[in-house]
Structure 1
Amino acid sequence: MTLLVAAVIVHDREAGRVVLLRRGPRAKFAQGMWDLPVGKNEPGEPITATAVRELREETGLIVQSDKLRLAHVIHGAQGVEAPNGFLTVVFAAEEWDGELVNGEPEKHSAVVWTPVDAIPDEFVPTTASALLRYLVGGPDVSVDSWDDRDAAG
């Protein structure tokens, strides 16, 4: 079964910054790399609820689901916790409540506002691509780890 995942780009347009987290030494994958707030969908949970829940758990920021805008979709052939592939729905939020905190210090070594012109290179490739594509206005879909024959089309 394909793993369903939600990620959120919290974009402070006025200040020209986004929220990033750094995966800690005990993270399940990509230890020490930067990432978006991201997490797995729970059974019976709408993907927008996943995005709202994961963002709140990881960063303390509260976003209303009706304020989420679809930013990007990533379809991966396989992942660390997804041998049968994953689908990451990336949302953008420009309105939120709360103060930025590291809500899961056992998973993340840092949760920070980062200028959009200073996105770190040590970034999980799939979400980095989604963030950079969002910041330049598209394209809205990317595929990862599929061979060229399957990805063409």
Structure 2
Amino acid sequence: MTTDPVDVDVPARNSRPPLAQAAFGVGVIVQDAEGRILLGRHRGGTWELPGGKVDPTHESVAAAAARELREETGLRVPERDVRVFAMLHDVVGGINRISMGALVRVGSATAEVTEPHLISAWRWTDPGALPGPLFDPSAQILAAWRPDLGVEHPPAHRLQVVSDEEQATPGPLPRLRTDSRP
């Protein structure tokens, strides 16, 4: 019996990190009791949802959403109140961009400008009267959340996320939708 030699100088395949090829982030739709959503005016000229990168520290998407919301707006929500509802995938500059859409509902809240070098103002906005231009990932997330809004956005592949409660419900699971329509 012969075996292939194992190169002892090469780390085991499962312990080597993969070559980086993606950016992974989350955008948070914060909706108040009046149905308005929170948008920030970026210094670059676009309007965007609170959000940012998911830290490579074994941080969950919901934890990243709660952290980014706190860091960017001063609003504090428990991780358990964050509902992740979609994954969007597009490619920018040869890098896969994965944006998770999350939703948080609050009774009322006042958002603070905590990063004035990035965001000049936070504004509660009726979803039917969105300002423009929107930051592309925010537009994609808003379109996944409410297709009826007719938000224009670059094409993205979309995967609807099924919650643990939906998976635990007896009977057929909700159908997963993927598409790349604008």
Task: Please give the range of the TM-score, normalised by the shorter of the 2 chains.
Answer: 0.7 to 0.9
How many percent identity over aligned positions? 30
1:66 aligns with 2:85: no
Post-superposition offset of 1:98: 5.6
- Cross-structure match for 2:97: 86
- Cross-structure match for 1:109: 120
Task: Write the distance in 2 (CA, Å) between the matches of 1:143 and 1:124.
Answer: 10
- Cross-structure match for 2:137: 126
Task: Write the distance in 2 (CA, Å) between the matches of 1:21 and 1:109.
Answer: 7
TM-score by length of 2: 0.65
**Contact 2:62–2:83 under 8 Å retained in 1:** no
Aligned residues: 135
Q: Superposition RMSD on alpha carbons, in Å?
A: 2.7
**Contact 1:62–1:98 under 8 Å retained in 2:** no
Q: Which has the larger radius of gyration?
A: 2
Query: Greater relative contact order (Cα 8 A, min sep 6): structure 1 or 2?
Result: 1
Corresponding residue to 1:34 among 47, 50, 59: 47
Post-superposition offset of 1:61: 0.8
Letter aligned with residue 67 of structure 1: D
Gaps of 5+ in 2: 1-20, 158-179
Task: State the Cα deviation string for residues 39-66 of structure 1 (Å, max 9, x = none).
Answer: 1111122222111111111111111111
